Structure 1
Amino acid sequence: MRFDLISIFPDYFAPLRLSLMGKAEDAGLVQLHAHDLRDWATGKHRSVDDTPYGGGAGMVMRADVWARALDDVLSVPLAARGAEDAPASPRRVVAIPTPSGTPLTQPRVEDLARADQIIVACGRYEGIDARVAEHYHGVGVEVVEFSIGDYVLNGGEVAAMVLTEAVARLLDGFMGNPDSLVEESHSGAGLLEYPVFTKPREFRSIEIPEVLLGGNHAAIERWRRDRAIEKTVRVRPDLALSLDASSLTPEDRATLAHCGVAYPQAGAAERLDVRLAGLEDVVAVSELAARTFPDACPENLPQEAIDDHIARQLNPDVFDALISDPERHRVFVAEVWGGLVGYVLTHVGPDALPSELVRPGRVEDGSAYLSKCYVDQAWRGSGIADVLLERAVADAAELGHTAVVLGTNRGNKAAQAFYKRHGFRKRSTRTFDVGGVRNDDVVMVRDLTA
């Protein structure tokens, strides 16, 4: 890879030859060439700029001077990477740093790392005559106008160094440990890097997270992934909302949802808000309950029984009474831009448990009863159910309950596996009436005292 950096201050680029970049140049992985633009200027003063047409403050760098420089550098013969013969059609890129350019991102850098030559034209003053980029683009040269941030510098040299280092470090053999490229910020995962630690084990009363000391590599990997997700949502929410959904595991989605970002089964991610329902939500919660309840019913349950249960148990009057009495009933809802997509209902207080569960040997006194946890079909697998369930459990614990009890249909193995992942264990069975039809439930309990 050959870098040609053209500037009126070529000495600016001397630090590039330090550290890994210098070693890479010595090893022949990169070629660094700094050029003085004034070498292509004419006249006594070797002027490279002039006043702008149309008036205005500042000076503009001349197109004719830049054209002579670029023509010469673009014609330099290139050696193929790892071979003596020159490539038949080398990829040459003219990169122009400018505050009005396209943001320099890791995907763009990864693409530029496949070039054979990158020429960086470092402007000064008010910039380079716009006809330079127009001309070279018009004659088939790959022109990249880029920005390293939404701010203005005195010239393009700093941006040129940023581009050079960002590209060069991706070249084969540049990094001593290539795994470093995989785990860092803006890697293929699209996440910011997780926090890293080294000795001493304790620094000013701050200790290393215990999970990093245990040797459980799967747990360490999960911890790091979760911290990367949390940091990305907090620091760069724009990145968190534009991840590659196909690369997200169920655990990733659950962590994202806990951080307030939900990815549906299809379509774009959305901001997620999980909150205690208010009376203004009564109708929406009732409608949500009516459309999600049938999906949890066994196949042999008649439609008439389902309809009867919805009409009697999930109507707006029922939810109005539930939401109006938060000391006995807790309804949390999950909301995205399009409306409510999930809810969880927990009965709390001294009389929270259904009568069939209070018999000796079933569940302990002081338990809360988780009655419903449903999510719209399009948002299942997004982690929203995980967030709703954990919010309900945490709420029950804050209210002084020692356990949370629930019942789920014996045939619904997916639901049982979901609750088991969240610490619920099978305790007993019960029968449950749906529209006059008997259903067999598994009773599961999560201990909150451990």
Structure 2
Amino acid sequence: MQLDVVTLFPDYLEPLRLSLVGRAIERGTVRLAVHDLRDWTHDRHRTVDDTPYGGGAGMVMRPEPWGECLDTLVPEPAHDTGGPRLVVFTPSGRRFDQRLADELAGEDRLILACGRYEGIDARVVPYARTRMRVDEVSLGDYVLNGGEAAALVVIEAVVRLLPGVIGNPESLAEESHSAGHDHLLEYPIYTKPPSWRGLDVPEVLFSGHHGQIAAWRRDRALELTAERRPDLLPDDRRGEFAIAAAVAADAGELLTLQRAAYVTEGRLHDSFDFPPLTDELGDVEQLIADTTCLVARRGGRLVGSVFGRREADGSWFVGRLMVAPDLQGTGLGRRLLDLIEDAAPPGTPRSVLVTGALSAFNRAFYTRRGYRVVGEEIRGSVPIVVMERRRD
């Protein structure tokens, strides 16, 4: 791949000579040429900017140096797929993402235009389109002093996708935003030691069961994506959930849901002799009557629930947070927890909940939401931990 970078500050691009990109340049996988835009000026001061027409703060990059530079780099119009592709960095451009990085990695030649000041004269891009394919690109919803930092990011993201640059190509398929990972955020990763400062690596990663590990990683990726970037979720995971107070008529479906949702807990603790797996219909009806119970539906199906109740000591007990197994990782559990927390009476000093002592995923989820373990108990034959979040 040929990379041409046009800039007012050629030294800014020196970090490209380091690390994997630098090695790709040394091996000839990438040919890098950095061009000083001032080389296409003709006055004593090498002027590249001027005041904006119509008034306003700042300076605008003049079109003449850019036009001569592009004419030099691309002497003849080349719109065919084998011609160069110009990337112009601007806050108003298309947002750069992994899909665009994959697309640019398939090009033979990229020219990257690094603007400065208030930007490049608006006539430059239309002119460039008469000679080559052009993309106006932004790194995100913020403004940089110039395009050089953006060029470093784009080159790093693109070059690492080229054959032979990354030692193990399979690692690219497991990364956040990659097509092989359904463009989800990456699951949590761990290395030695197995226990560090009271934090343990999830047991499933020691199981040697590749199917279970893959399922765990997929679930964590979905959960993390739902929490931080729900816009990246697959279409079948984006359906709207209707959340409302439970009524007596929900008891039958709620009983079915809790048996489906808690069977994993039973397997983890090698016991199914605990509520809610031992509940009968009447128990669920009583729970609805005695607590603030919320249920979530999607397409008419009851797919999630949680309850809260005021305890004698004034704390707010949160119980039976559950989501249908096929919808875990969509962010519904987080939404239900937030809503039941908001339902606590004003002035409630703390929220309390319990979960299985061996439920590493649940404990990690509640820890991220501000809960801390404050005690351990045995209920029936199942060890549990008591977790608390101070509300003040």
Which TM-score bucket, shorter chain as reference?
Answer: 0.5 to 0.7
- 2:218 is aligned with what amino acid? R
Residue-by-residue CA offset, 1:59-96 (whole Å, 9 max, x unaligned):
000111101111111249x9xxxxxxxxx962311101
Match of 2:359 in 1: none
CA–CA distance in 2 between the matches of 1:335 and 1:98?
A: 43
Pairs aligned (count): 289
Q: Does 1:204 align with 2:197?
A: yes
Distance 1:47 1:381, change over 3 A: same
- 2:226 is aligned with what amino acid? V
For the 8 Å contact 1:333–1:342, the answer to whether it is kept is no
The residue correspondences of 1:230-249 to structure 2 (distance < 5 A) are 230-240=223-233, 243=234, 245=235
Match of 2:165 in 1: 174
For the 8 Å contact 2:219–2:328, the answer to whether it is kept is no
The residue correspondences of 1:25-44 to structure 2 (distance < 5 A) are 25-44=25-44
Post-superposition, which runs of at least 4 consecutive aligned residues in structure 1 deviate over 2 A?
269-276, 322-336, 343-346, 380-384
Q: Does 1:160 align with 2:156?
A: no
Distance 1:344 1:75, change over 3 A: closer
Q: Does 1:144 align with 2:139?
A: no
Q: Does 1:186 align with 2:168?
A: no
For the 8 Å contact 2:205–2:213, the answer to whether it is kept is yes
For the 8 Å contact 1:332–1:344, the answer to whether it is kept is no
The residue correspondences of 1:243-392 to structure 2 (distance < 5 A) are 243=234, 245=235, 263=237, 269-273=238-242, 276-278=245-247, 326-327=288-289, 333-336=295-298, 341-343=300-302
The CA RMSD over aligned residues, in Å, is 3.7
- 2:301 is aligned with what amino acid? G
Residue-by-residue CA offset, 1:362-407 (whole Å, 9 max, x unaligned):
xxxxxxxxxxxxx9xxxx97679xx99xx9xxxxxx99xxxxxxxx
Distance 1:159 1:330, change over 3 A: closer
Match of 1:103 in 2: 95
For the 8 Å contact 1:7–1:122, the answer to whether it is kept is yes
SS, match of residue 191 in structure 1: coil
Distance 1:131 1:12, change over 3 A: same
CA–CA distance in 1 between the matches of 2:83 and 2:243?
A: 50
Greater alpha carbon shift after TM alignment, 213-222 vs 119-128: 213-222
- 1:15 is aligned with what amino acid? P
Q: Does 1:116 align with 2:105?
A: no
Give the deviation of 1:35 after TM superposition. 0.8
Residue-by-residue CA offset, 1:199-248 (whole Å, 9 max, x unaligned):
222221111111112222211111111111111111111112xx2x5xxx
CA–CA distance in 1 between the matches of 2:60 and 2:91?
A: 15
Match of 2:60 in 1: 60
Q: Does 1:47 align with 2:47?
A: yes
CA–CA distance in 2 between the matches of 1:162 and 1:140?
A: 26
- 1:195 is aligned with what amino acid? P
Match of 2:126 in 1: 134
Query: Which 5+ residue runs of structure 2 have no aligned equivalent?
Result: 254-283, 306-323, 337-352, 355-379, 383-392
CA–CA distance in 2 between the matches of 1:238 and 1:196?
A: 23
Match of 2:317 in 1: none
CA–CA distance in 2 between the matches of 1:344 and 1:40?
A: 64
Give the deviation of 1:158 after TM superposition. 0.4
Give the deviation of 1:335 after TM superposition. 3.3
For the 8 Å contact 1:169–1:175, the answer to whether it is kept is yes
Give the deviation of 1:345 after TM superposition. 12
Give the deviation of 1:324 after TM superposition. 9.6
Residue-by-residue CA offset, 1:327-361 (whole Å, 9 max, x unaligned):
4899864335xxx6213899xxxxxxxxxxxxxxx
Give the deviation of 1:32 after TM superposition. 1.1
For the 8 Å contact 1:334–1:341, the answer to whether it is kept is no
Distance 1:206 1:102, change over 3 A: same
- 1:142 is aligned with what amino acid? R
SS, match of residue 334 in structure 1: strand
Match of 2:272 in 1: none
Distance 1:202 1:112, change over 3 A: same
SS, match of residue 288 in structure 2: coil
Query: Which 5+ residue runs of structure 1 have no aligned equivalent?
Result: 79-87, 246-261, 264-268, 290-321, 347-374, 392-397, 400-447
User: Could you tell me the TM-score, scaled by structure 2's length?
Assistant: 0.65
CA–CA distance in 1 between the matches of 2:200 and 2:327?
A: 33
Match of 1:430 in 2: none
For the 8 Å contact 2:87–2:135, the answer to whether it is kept is yes
CA–CA distance in 2 between the matches of 1:45 and 1:344?
A: 69
